[in-house]
Amino acid sequence: MQDWLRNFHGTTPPFLPLDIALKVAITLALGLLVGFEREWSNKDIGARTFAMVALLGLLGSLLGPAAILLGGTIVVILVTFANLRGLQVARKLETTTSAALALIFLLGMLVGQGHIFTPVACSIIVAMLLALKTQFRAFAGGLTPQEVRSAILLALLGFVIWPLLPSRYADPWHLTQPREAWIIVVVIACLGFVNYVLLRLYGSRGVYLTAILGGLVNSTASAAELASTLSSTGLGSVTVPVVLLTSVAMFLRNIVILAIFAPAAVRTAILPLLAMTFVAGWWIYRDYRKADQVEHGPSLALSSPISLWKVLRLALLFLLVQVLATLGQRHLGSAGFEVISALGGLVSSASSTAASATLAMHGTVTSAQAGVAAVLTSMTSALMNLPIVQQQKGTRPAMRELTISSALQIGAGILVLVVQSKLLPRW
């Protein structure tokens, strides 16, 4: 029997059965996954063809360059005939199906080379992209030219301009590093853009959800827009919980910024911000039924946070707060740093929080100081809502409740900060 097997295989070493069985099973699964989606979309090329093309890629990888060339030629022929039929029947090219077929051939080759994660992950992504055609079309159709330009500008800022900036201190006083400062600005802009997209998609599903998503983009601008909209439509009774929700969203955003750039500072900031959130949450819970009379969330006229002017403004604010906070720390100690950070919250709590986190990342200030600064800048940013709401007509009854709530929030945050520093000095 052994001699017969040796004569059967000749000089070619046999493939290991278990290894081949596993590769064939994975390859079939990948082809069928994408193929069934094409079947569901009523395409001529379906599950069986995709499965066989995936196996063709697997065999080509196992047999060598000549087999790969043959398999690639077969795929090109299939794609050509599919597109000719598409032009004949529906007068359109089957470009998406053709691209998916070529990708499945390559993924089958990867499986043949012993890879598992890459082809599996890619096949799932391909199937997801194919299945979400309707959603992508609806989303792309609702984009404005400004939003498209914003996405392109964001890519330009992150992948073209950032690598060109120097990675060292640009001044003799060691105050700023252009490349590091730029990437932090880009990250903050990305967070704002993602939140803006969510606001565009889901902001009309309720006034509270609109307040949360708007607060993640820009809490001050959202509070002003919401207060104006609600007062003009006779819904001033929900002004207090809605404005408080923008502040709660801002607290969450600042925690995320800290977690990205200075994770150790979160330990100091989390408890005071949670205390402030709890106070605001009690007011929101008390008045949440009032929002039932609002069927849809008010439309916020917030422009995209990504434009050349807005990014430059964010960068200038970030650099200004960072430089002033550094100088305050050097010449006035911890108190100077905290005061500068708190004042930064009057303009942009995101920039102020990011500047504090950056200084903590470099060891200029301690993580605890950066955490305290994030809490203080969040407090001052929340207090900015008071004069904004007061300027709106018909909001006088809400001002008393909003003032009391804001005072209690600040008091709770300060109390927790003090108790934390006394009882948990190492926290």
HEC profile for the chain? CHHHHHHHHCCCCCCCHHHHHHHHHHHHHHHHHHHHHHHHCCCCCCHHHHHHHHHHHHHHHHHCHHHHHHHHHHHHHHHHHHHHHHHHHCCCCCHHHHHHHHHHHHHHHHHHCCCCHHHHHHHHHHHHHHHCHHHHHHHHHCCCHHHHHHHHHHHHHHHHHHHHCCCCCCCCCCCCCHHHHHHHHHHHHHHHHHHHHHHHHHHHHCHHHHHHHHHHHHHHHHHHHHHHHHHHCCCHHHHHHHHHHHHHHHHHHHHHHHHHHCHHHHHHHHHHHHHHHHHHHHHHHHHHHHHHHCCCCCCCCCCCCCCHHHHHHHHHHHHHHHHHHHHHHHHHCHHHHHHHHHHHCCCCHHHHHHHHHHHHHHCCCCHHHHHHHHHHHHHHHHHCHHHHHHCCCCCHHHHHHHHHHHHHHHHHHHHHHHHHHHHCCCC
Say if residue 351's pLDDT is above 90.
Answer: no
Return the pLDDT at 284.
82
Angle (deg, nearest 10), helices 17-40 and 47-63: 150
Q: Give the separation between CA 27 and CA 263, rounded to whole angstroms.
A: 42
Higher pLDDT, 139 or 255: 255
104-125 confidence digits (pLDDT tens): 999 999 999 999 999 999 999 9
Q: Give the separation between CA 315 and CA 162, rounded to whole angstroms.
A: 13
Enumerate residues 6+ apart whose C-beta is below 8 A from 247. 215, 219, 223, 276, 280, 381, 382, 385, 409
Return the pLDDT at 2.
56
Return the pLDDT at 388.
77
Return the pLDDT at 378.
92
CB 219, CB 243: distance < 8 Å: no
Q: How far is residue 139 from each of residues 134, 262, 302, measured CA to CA in Å?
A: 9, 35, 18
Enumerate residues 6+ apart whose C-beta is below 8 A from 93. 83, 86, 87
Q: Give the separation between CA 26 and CA 115, rounded to whole angstroms.
A: 10
Return the pLDDT at 213.
77
Return the pLDDT at 288.
65
Q: Give the separation between CA 178 and CA 171, rounded to whole angstroms.
A: 10
The tokens describing 366, both together, are: 């301690």
pLDDT band at 273 (very low <50, low <70, confident <90, very high): very high
Higher pLDDT, 185 or 281: 281
Compute the half-sphere exposure of residue 366: CA atoms within 13 Å on the CB side of its CA: 12
Q: State mean pLDDT over 212-241.
A: 73
Higher pLDDT, 15 or 411: 411
Higher pLDDT, 13 or 417: 417
Higher pLDDT, 191 or 64: 64
Return the pLDDT at 275.
93
Return the pLDDT at 346.
81
Q: State mean pLDDT over 239-264.
A: 89
Q: Give the separation between CA 333 and CA 125, rounded to whole angstroms.
A: 52
Say if residue 223's pLDDT is above 60.
Answer: yes
9-67 confidence digits (pLDDT tens): 555 666 778 888 999 999 999 999 999 888 888 887 888 889 999 999 999 998 888 88
384-409 confidence digits (pLDDT tens): 888 877 776 666 667 888 888 889 99
CB 304, CB 146: distance < 8 Å: yes
Q: How far is residue 185 from each of residues 92, 191, 352, 354, measured CA to CA in Å?
A: 44, 10, 11, 8
Say if residue 206's pLDDT is above 70.
Answer: no
CB 283, CB 409: distance < 8 Å: no
84-100 confidence digits (pLDDT tens): 887 777 777 778 888 89
Angle (deg, nearest 10), helices 349-362 and 334-344: 150
User: Which range among 2-11, 163-172, 209-218, 315-324 shows the weakest confidence by mean pLDDT?
Assistant: 2-11
Q: What is the pTM of this model?
A: 0.69
By the 10 Å C-beta count (0-12 exposed, 13-18 middle, 19+ buried), 44 is classed as: middle
Higher pLDDT, 168 or 139: 168
pLDDT band at 412 (very low <50, low <70, confident <90, very high): very high
274-318 confidence digits (pLDDT tens): 999 999 888 888 776 555 455 555 555 556 656 666 777 777 777
